[in-house]
Chain A
């Protein structure tokens, strides 16, 4: 199904992004609560979410700040958690690179795990999509997520420590990511990539500053690429 107008592309992006509303709300609230507990006021908490929009990196920074880590270490560690955004940026470039600079800058600011996954899944399965439609679809995918990220960071900061631990908000993100990963297993190469990445990430937990994640990600990407090459070669022999 090819999208013909940018308006309908935007609408479809909004629809595809909607499931993540159920994830963003608890996660943003959790960040607000933790930030308040760390001593941030309401304005600081909201500013943190608006300026950085990266939950995992924000939580990493907060944790290290509370441990009185040196400022440089806080910055480097939190950015290391966000290094995957550079990989996302690279993998979106073939699809969005031809858009005007201001649109690419806007997409860069709004690049989060959810918008990236939703958009990539669509771009890969619909190669006929035009660049303006892709930008519209990408912006649609974040329309519900990003404002809710701001609003519920604020809500979390306002309700503070009144949220009981029994709500297990910590597990909202793992559940969301697992749900997003499942439909991505389209080929054997994708499964191999995920499997190798998981294995390496479990072995690499001792590597400091979350760099184990990057090592695991690179290992998974190489495994996927090599499997793809191997499958292609085998396919050619059988032709």
Chain B
């Protein structure tokens, strides 16, 4: 059981810390120019972080205790493929969801 005082300490601490991380550049740097080398790296933030966040979850899903899972792997592949081909985020999400539920229904 989680202690109420600990929980609130975590909620407030995490709130302040998360806002700090989000505010640090946009708030404190403002419209001062940043060096070109830094901007060149920042261009690739999203395209690096998001795949790195997802890759382990695709190969070793927590829901199956880290075992490779066919429906989830197939859903991930379909989502990415449809996304790359159509550039349509919504269509990619739907294709992935249909694949996931279809295979979970057939196999599971």
A179-B63 CB under 8 A given contacts A75-B14, A89-B25, A193-B44: no
B29 interface neighbour in A65, A88, A97, A197, Cβ under 8 Å:
A97
B14 interface neighbour in A52, A217, A229, Cβ under 8 Å:
A52
Q: Any chain B CB within 8 A of the CB of A182?
A: yes
How many Å from the CB of A55 to the closest CB on chain B?
11
Q: Which of A6-14, A77-85, A142-150, A153-161 contacts B (4 or more CB under 8 A)?
A: A77-85
Chain B residues with CB under 8 Å of A221's CB are: 41-42, 44-45, 48
Instruction: Tell me the nearest residue of chain B to A62, going by C-beta.
Output: B2
Instruction: Tell me the nearest residue of chain A to B92, going by C-beta.
Output: A179
B21-56 contacts to A, CB under 8 A, are 21-27, 29-32, 34, 37-56
A190-228 contacts to B, CB under 8 A, are 190, 193-194, 196-198, 200-202, 205, 213, 216-225, 228
A-B contacts counted at CB < 8 A amount to 283
Q: How far is the CA of A209 from the CA of B101 in the complex (A)?
A: 32
The answer to whether B48 and A170 touch across the interface, beta carbons within 8 angstroms, is no
A120-144 contacts to B, CB under 8 A, are 120, 124
B52 interface neighbour in A54, A111, A178, A220, Cβ under 8 Å:
A220
Q: How far is the CA of A65 from the CA of B52 in the complex (A)?
A: 25
What bracket does the count of chain B residues touching chain A fall in? 35 or more
B1-18 contacts to A, CB under 8 A, are 1-2, 4, 6-15, 17-18
Instruction: Tell me the nearest residue of chain B to A215, going by C-beta.
Output: B52
Chain A residues with CB under 8 Å of B54's CB are: 173-174, 177-178, 181
Chain A residues with CB under 8 Å of B24's CB are: 86, 89-90
B49 interface neighbour in A53, A93, A104, A217, Cβ under 8 Å:
A217
Q: How far is the CA of A74 from the CA of B101 in the complex (A)?
A: 34
The answer to whether B26 and A108 touch across the interface, beta carbons within 8 angstroms, is yes
Q: How far is the CA of A229 from the CA of B79 in the complex (A)?
A: 31
How many Å from the CB of B51 to the closest CB on chain A?
5
The answer to whether B26 and A107 touch across the interface, beta carbons within 8 angstroms, is yes
Q: Any chain B CB within 8 A of the CB of A96?
A: yes
B48-82 contacts to A, CB under 8 A, are 48-63, 71-72, 75-76, 79-80, 82
Instruction: Tell me the nearest residue of chain A to B15, going by C-beta.
Output: A51
Q: Any chain B CB within 8 A of the CB of A28?
A: no
The answer to whether A220 and B47 touch across the interface, beta carbons within 8 angstroms, is yes
How many Å from the CB of B78 to the closest CB on chain A?
9
Q: Any chain B CB within 8 A of the CB of A163?
A: no
Chain B residues with CB under 8 Å of A52's CB are: 11, 14-15, 18
Q: List 11 A-B contacts (CB under 8 A).
A: A51-B14, A52-B15, A65-B10, A90-B42, A93-B34, A105-B23, A107-B26, A108-B19, A202-B59, A224-B41, A229-B40
Given contacts A22-B97, A97-B30, 8 further A-B contacts (CB under 8 A): A51-B11, A78-B14, A85-B21, A88-B22, A91-B42, A93-B25, A117-B46, A168-B104
